[in-house]
Structure 1
């Protein structure tokens, strides 16, 4: 990770209940220890509670997402105790307002199963009260529509080691791109950005690894701004897929290739063995990474290209996100 990523504070939107604020419909909260105890050391949180923001009290009667029939995926947010109280438009309008005001975020963490904030698996009901599938919360859907590339995740899913690490990879990448864009994009900066992100993309998507290379092979076929926008779309799309053990192994072996003339046969055999132990699930990802970085850093006059790879440090090492992968 470069110095900008290490020192700049992330700005992350978050459902207020996840910070321990008593804004739930029952007057409670759903404090996330990962957010308050770990991520808070690196991020400035911007808390929101859409339901409170539109004037619903605390505590309050819960709202639910309702469709007119089983074939209709359009939902309305209605008070469960009073079907005449429709808060769909106020929630949408609040999302639109926040999307304008919170345009400097690098990520958003939302409360799962919430009819306003849930991203996945929010219960959907029919008008007769029977449950009928799942959907996305009204606020979350509208905010994501307006910021489609912004890393967004549910707090519950962050309990999964792979999803948590993947979310933070995307958040730090999004932040660095914002910083790069704000400083003024040039062809040199775009190529430099990609040269550092190349192996991170490889670990997540070989399809995008190839298509992004082709995109940057000719910077004269379109305006630089259009190319940069397309590049960023492909970058965030690639990173949205968590890297598999197989893809990590492939990337580690590619980076090992930079050492073939610089380390002894015994050291090469040891590194190869550790990479294979990771592939087999015997050791976590941090083990081959630490050994690889040790060899790459042994002689700083060589391998500058490999050492600058964001893949080696996509987020602060102290977060320990790769210790359990």
Structure 2
């Protein structure tokens, strides 16, 4: 059985079912509560409740003020922007140890993408705002995997987010422990294909950092590697890059297989590349043959097991 580092993930409290929304309700997300919940530890935060706005409460909106989007109460006109930002400041010690964050979409405090911005008369001006808490969170922790709840309904975005969360947890566990350069080298070797599947240049950059790690102090080496590692995995992958990574594994085990098994593997990779099969099909075939032929380097690649199998995130054909 695979052993995974258990990530710690921040989350808007309402997404776990807490009745803290402006109307006294919640926005429970079943993927988070019924599936991901078994594999992560949560840090729930409701910025609006935390600053004492109450439940239920008057609605908030983003309002333009000299070119800046401020969070204004629709009932009183009070500006709550700084208070909401300070929630992230107060929690920074805990937030810095997170491996990801899921925010409530369309929220003036937690919304991440394209929130509507209004003028003082309530007329919509543009749709490029970001919630005050979300803005401060992403400023403080730019490398943290962060996603909106609404976008998790997209299989590709969901898979990418979860993959980054578990990779973040693995690197955090390494850096927080007593590690030597050889441990960083081993970590990088296990993540080779995963990095290549997202950013070949990112793989080369992280490799250069590892090669020079012994020449720097541990903290500097770890920080430089972490920055390059997270930047590489933040790049969206594609069918072509996935197929290239699969071909790399195939190349490792091909000499050990007979013609029939080689043909089956190549057919599985090609079916995926053409969009006729899910990524899980060639991955399962490669894992099976790597284990059967005892190809240790390939079987230990995190690319083949980036997160627990029970999440079934590579099963949709669209991924």
Q: Where on the TM-score scale, by shorter chain, does this alignment land: which range?
A: over 0.9
Contact 2:6 2:169 (C-alpha < 8 Å) held by counterparts: no
Q: 1:155 to 1:306 in 2, by over 3 A?
A: same
Once the two structures are superposed, what CA deviation does each residue of 1:36-88 show, in whole Å capped at 9, x if it has no partner?
1111111222211100110101111111111225xx1x2211111222x1111
For 1:205 and 1:56, locate their aligned partners in 2 and report how far apart those are by CA, in whole Å.
44
Q: Let me know the Cα RMSD of the aligned residues.
A: 1.5
2:91 partner SS = helix
Other-structure match for 2:21: 24
Matched, 1:104 2:106: no
Q: In the alignment, does 2:307 pair up with 1:310?
A: no
Q: 1:165 aligns with which of 147, 159, 180?
A: 159
Determine if contact 1:91/1:139 at 8 Å carries over to the other structure. Answer: yes
Q: 1:276-315 counterparts in 2 under 5 A?
A: 276-300=270-294, 303-315=295-307
The Cα shift of 1:91 comes to: 0.8
Number of matched residues? 316
Q: Is the 8 A contact 1:162 1:242 kept in 2?
A: no
Aligned pair partner of 1:131 in 124, 135, 147: 124
Q: Displacement of 1:193 after TM fit?
A: 0.6
Can you give the 5+ residue segments of structure 2 that lack an aligned partner in the other structure? none
Structure 1 residue 140, shift from structure 2 partner: 0.9
Mapped partners of 2:207, 2:17: distance in 1: 44
Per mean C-alpha deviation after superposition, the further-off stretch among 98-107 and 262-271 is 98-107
Structure 1 gaps of 5+ residues are none
Residues 134-178 of structure 1 show CA distances to partners (whole Å, capped at 9, x for unaligned) of 211100111121122111111111111011111111111111111
Maintained 8 Å contact 2:12/2:45:
yes
> Which secondary structure does the structure 2 equivalent of 1:235 belong to?
helix
Which of 283-292 and 261-270 deviates more?
Answer: 261-270
Cα distance in 2 for residues equivalent to 1:146 and 1:201: 25
